[in-house]
Chains A and B, each alone.
Chain A
Amino acid sequence: RKEVEQDPGPFNVPEGATVAFNCTYSNSASQSFFWYRQDCRKEPKLLMSVYSSGNEDGRFTAQLNRASQYISLLIRDSKLSDSATYLCVVNEQEYGQNFVFGPGTRLSVLP
């Protein structure tokens, strides 16, 4: 079983749509959680960290459910510029090194 799993995608949505990505992780001791964005043939960049209380950054909302070992990312009012692959990343150690990456979910926002 993969340590971090994501919706396989791709997601093709029209501009203005709301889209949700799901991610599950297998290590219940995982400490911190992130969503990264990766444009085609580019490096990943941090989109947002995910906190237990949930957090929002503009049109983006991230949720964490530790009991279910589940992370989500909601994008409201999708823009063409949101087209990218979204990577779920879990750090299994608080100050250590074990960033585990999910395979990513590709999003295409269509005009």
Chain B
Amino acid sequence: DADVTQTPRNRITKTGKRIMLECSQTKGHDRMYWYRQDPGLGLRLIYYSFDVKDINKGEISDGYSVSRQAQAKFSLSLESAIPNQTALYFCATSDLNVGQSYTGELFFGEGSRLTVL
């Protein structure tokens, strides 16, 4: 089983619908992230969280919200989806914990492909 699991893997929805993407991890990492990937643009950070209840905006947070109710779970919501939110979304974790060595590696889920019509 994957250490970082995203659901759903694929979703097609209509403009104006509310969508939630779920991410869960078994790595025990405190830090979790949501990125989106668009062709030619690279991954861009939407939101990140360093601990339960800790929420921080990334580069492109407008139109998105997140929830971190447990260490292992970080969900991303699109309150009212629009076509330009069509993208591949990745959840990731990293291994920085206070007092431990830091490799800087990001561990990604398999991605959630979202299409907004």
Interface residues of A (CB under 8 A from B): 4, 32, 34, 36, 41-46, 49, 87, 89, 91, 95, 97, 99, 101-104
Interface residues of B (CB under 8 A from A): 31, 33, 35, 40-45, 48, 50, 56, 90, 96, 102-106, 108-111
Kindly list chain B residues whose C-beta atoms are within 8 Å of the C-beta of A41. 111
Q: How far is the CB of A12 from chain B (nearest CB, A)?
A: 18
Out of A32, A42, A101, name the residue touching B110 (CB < 8 Å). Answer: A42
Cα separation A101 to B52 with both chains bound (whole Å):
25
Please count the residue pairs between chain A and chain B whose beta carbons lie under 8 angstroms apart in the complex.
Answer: 47
Query: Is the beta-carbon distance between B108 and A103 smaller than 8 angstroms?
Result: no
Query: Is the beta-carbon distance between B56 and A44 smaller than 8 angstroms?
Result: no
Query: Is the beta-carbon distance between B42 and A4 smaller than 8 angstroms?
Result: yes
Kindly list chain B residues whose C-beta atoms are within 8 Å of the C-beta of A103. 40-42
Cα separation A61 to B66 with both chains bound (whole Å):
38
Cα separation A91 to B105 with both chains bound (whole Å):
10
Kindly list chain A residues whose C-beta atoms are within 8 Å of the C-beta of B40. 103
Cα separation A97 to B104 with both chains bound (whole Å):
10
